[in-house]
Amino acid sequence: MSETSGTTLFTDVQVFDGTGREPFAGEVLVEGDRITAVTGKIPADKLAAARIVDGGGGTLIPGLVDSHTHLGFGSTVEHRSPRRDEPDEEKALLVAHAGRVLLDHGITSAYSGGNRLPRTEIAARKAFAEGWMPGPRFKAASWEGSAGMVEPGVYDFPGIDGRASDPESVSRFVGEMADLGVDIVKLSLSGESAVVQGTSRIVQFTEDEVAAASAAARARGVALTAHAHAAESIKMAVRHGIRAVYHCTFADEETLDLLEAARDRLFVAPTPGIIYANLHEAGSEPERGMEVEATEKAVRQVVPELVRRGIRVVPGGDYGFPWNPVGRNARDLELFVDWFGFTPAEALSAATRDGGWVMGMDGELGLVKEGYLADLVLVDGDPLDDIRVLQDRERLTAIMKAGVLYKAPA
Indicate whether 1 belongs to any domain: no
Q: Looking at residue 79, which CATH number applies to its domain?
A: 3.20.20.140
d(CA 263, CA 185): 20
Please give the pLDDT value at position 5. 63
Question: CB burial class (10 A; 0-12, 13-18, 19+) of residue 207?
Answer: middle
DSSP classification of residue 203: B
Angle between helices 207-220 and 167-180 (to 10 degrees): 30
Are 98 and 38 members of one domain?
Answer: no
Are 281 and 326 members of one domain?
Answer: yes
d(CA 115, CA 99): 13
Are 244 and 393 members of one domain?
Answer: no
Query: How many CA atoms within 13 Å lie on the side-chain side of 18?
Result: 28
Confidence of residue 353 (pLDDT cuts 50, 70, 90): very high
pLDDT in tens, 178-191: 999 999 999 999 99
Indicate whether 375 belongs to any domain: yes
Which amino acid is it at 374?
Answer: A
On average, the pLDDT of the chain sits at 93
Q: Provide the 3-class DSSP secondary structure of residue 367.
A: coil
Give the closest residue to 316 by CA, choosing from 347, 284, 285.
Answer: 347
Are 269 and 312 members of one domain?
Answer: yes
Q: Provide the 3-class DSSP secondary structure of residue 259.
A: helix
Are 138 and 19 members of one domain?
Answer: no
Confidence of residue 324 (pLDDT cuts 50, 70, 90): very high
Confidence of residue 393 (pLDDT cuts 50, 70, 90): very high
What Rg value do the Cα atoms of the chain yield, rounded?
21
How much is the average pLDDT of 54-69? 97
Among 192-196, 254-258, 385-389, the minimum mean pLDDT is found in: 192-196
How much is the average pLDDT of 200-227? 97
Among 41-50, 149-158, 213-222, the minimum mean pLDDT is found in: 149-158
Confidence of residue 148 (pLDDT cuts 50, 70, 90): low
Question: CB burial class (10 A; 0-12, 13-18, 19+) of residue 239?
Answer: middle
* Higher-scoring residue by pLDDT: 229, 148: 229
Question: CB burial class (10 A; 0-12, 13-18, 19+) of residue 294?
Answer: middle
Q: Please say if the pLDDT value at position 9 is more than 50.
A: yes
pLDDT in tens, 254-268: 999 999 999 999 999
d(CA 298, CA 407): 39
CA separation (Å) from 44 to 8, 26, 60, 305, 360? Answer: 13, 15, 21, 49, 36
Confidence of residue 151 (pLDDT cuts 50, 70, 90): low
Please give the pLDDT value at position 231. 98
Contacts of 89 (CB under 8 A, 6+ apart): none
Are 195 and 320 members of one domain?
Answer: yes
Contacts of 48 (CB under 8 A, 6+ apart): none
Q: Which helix (H) or strand (E) holds 253?
A: helix 253-261
Are 218 and 264 members of one domain?
Answer: yes
Confidence of residue 158 (pLDDT cuts 50, 70, 90): confident
Give the closest residue to 298 by CA, choosing from 229, 386, 237.
Answer: 229
pLDDT in tens, 105-135: 999 999 999 998 999 999 999 999 999 999 9
Give the closest residue to 361 by CA, choosing from 183, 236, 127.
Answer: 183
d(CA 37, CA 335): 33
Indicate whether 82 belongs to any domain: yes
d(CA 234, CA 248): 6
Show the CA angle centred on residue 251, arms to residues 323 and 67, nearest 5°. 45
Q: Please say if the pLDDT value at position 287 is more than 70.
A: no
Q: Looking at residue 35, which CATH number applies to its domain?
A: 2.30.40.10
What are the beta bridge partners of residue 399?
A: 377, 407
pLDDT over 90 for what percent of the chain? 83
Q: What is the count of structural domains for the chain?
A: 2
Give every strand in the sheet of 141-145, ordered side by side.
Answer: 141-145, 184-188, 223-228, 244-247, 267-269, 312-313
* Higher-scoring residue by pLDDT: 192, 218: 218
Are 195 and 221 members of one domain?
Answer: yes
Indicate whether 371 belongs to any domain: yes
Q: Provide the 3-class DSSP secondary structure of residue 33.
A: coil
How much is the average pLDDT of 347-375? 98
Indicate whether 349 belongs to any domain: yes
Are 13 and 118 members of one domain?
Answer: no
Q: Please say if the pLDDT value at position 358 is more than 90.
A: yes
Kindly report the pTM of this predicted structure: 0.95
Confidence of residue 1 (pLDDT cuts 50, 70, 90): very low
Are 22 and 110 members of one domain?
Answer: no
Are 28 and 129 members of one domain?
Answer: no
Confidence of residue 272 (pLDDT cuts 50, 70, 90): very high
Containing structural domain, residue 239: 64-358
Are 334 and 370 members of one domain?
Answer: no
Q: Provide the 3-class DSSP secondary structure of residue 67.
A: strand
